[in-house]
């Protein structure tokens, strides 16, 4: 079987710096690059042209310099932060939310982890801008995406990245939910509502349909590789997860093996529930 090929990223590593990417979406890139965060965390400032009320998606880690950069970007456009919204609760997206609320004076909205502010299908508005909440659990149980219909874009947090693939963060993340979320996004791309993805890490994805198709095929391939690893002896290993990681993710840098282990654990749970 020929492995699924990912669409070429819109910017190579080191060439993505954020900036204005649609009429309504500006990315302020956090300076926290790593193997897990890629170029860094994308903090999104959403603003209807001519409006003075902005929505900020994912203020990022507790990095005072970055939080101030986000506020300056909003102020430079003659606006204020009306709401801050979290795609999920991981620290690289949400750790700075409390401090950002202090700095901006704006409320923070999310789902789970002490929040019950948003639900699938809700519409968030600010200054004429409309965002529709799309529940996309799987990477984490609280993962949300946001459809910006006016720009035919979907802000996906860590559900779909701008480069590479994401982690199903077991035990909070769950593979069946993640596969269902990819199907939900595929429907949005299929009917033309979403043509571009604005991810939580990495560059903008200009062909959302192609990237989601790759993600779905990649997940199917990984499941088959895990099944084969189990059949080849990993099932009898003292540490089954590690044995599968060593076989299936041998070509992946070792610094991301801990993340791969979470995805493997999620895949083993998924296969066990269907055996």
Determine if the peptide bond prior to 50 is cis (ω within 30°): no
Tens digit of pLDDT for each residue in 243-260? 999 999 998 889 999 999
Per-residue model confidence (pLDDT) at position 66: 98
Starting at the edge strand found earlier in the chain, the sheet holding 25-29 runs 18-20, 25-29, 42-46, 53-57, 80-85, 108-109
129 closest CA partner among 234, 46, 59? 46
Name the CATH topology of 18-208. Metallo-beta-lactamase; Chain A (3.60.15)
- What are residue 226's phi and psi, to 5 degrees? -65, -45
Domain ranges of the chain: 18-208
185 closest CA partner among 156, 165, 223? 156
86 closest CA partner among 64, 116, 65? 116
Tens digit of pLDDT for each residue in 12-57? 999 999 999 999 999 999 999 999 999 999 999 999 999 999 999 9
């Amino acid at each position: 079987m020929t492995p699924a090929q990912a669409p070429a990223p819109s910017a190579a590593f080191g060439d993505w710096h954020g900036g204005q990417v649609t009429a309504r979406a500006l990315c302020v890139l956090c300076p926290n690059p790593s193997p897990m965060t890629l170029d860094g965390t994308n903090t999104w400032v959403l603003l209807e042209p001519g409006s003075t009320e902005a929505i900020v998606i994912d203020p990022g880690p507790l990095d005072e310099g970055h939080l101030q950069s986000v506020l300056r970007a909003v102020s430079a456009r003659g606006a204020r932060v009306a709401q801050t919204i979290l795609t999920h609760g991981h620290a690289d997206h949400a750790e700075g939310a409390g401090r950002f609320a202090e700095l901006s004076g704006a409320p923070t909205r999310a789902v789970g982890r002490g929040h019950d502010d948003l639900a699938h299908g809700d519409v968030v508005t600010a200054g004429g801008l409309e965002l529709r909440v799309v529940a996309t659990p799987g990477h984490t149980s609280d993962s949300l995406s946001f459809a910006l219909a006016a720009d035919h874009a979907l802000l996906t947090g860590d559900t779909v990245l701008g480069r590479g693939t994401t982690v199903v963060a077991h035990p909070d993340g769950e593979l069946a939910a993640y596969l269902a979320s990819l199907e939900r996004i595929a429907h949005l791309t299929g009917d033309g509502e979403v043509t571009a993805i604005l991810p939580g890490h990495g560059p903008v994805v200009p062909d959302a349909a192609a990237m989601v198709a790759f993600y779905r095929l990649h997940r199917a391939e990984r499941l088959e590789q895990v099944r084969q690893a189990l059949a080849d002896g990993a099932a009898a290993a003292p540490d089954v997860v590690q044995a599968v990681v060593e076989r299936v993710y041998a070509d992946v840098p070792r610094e991301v093996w801990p993340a791969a282990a979470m995805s493997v654990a999620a895949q083993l749970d998924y296969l066990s529930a269907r055996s």
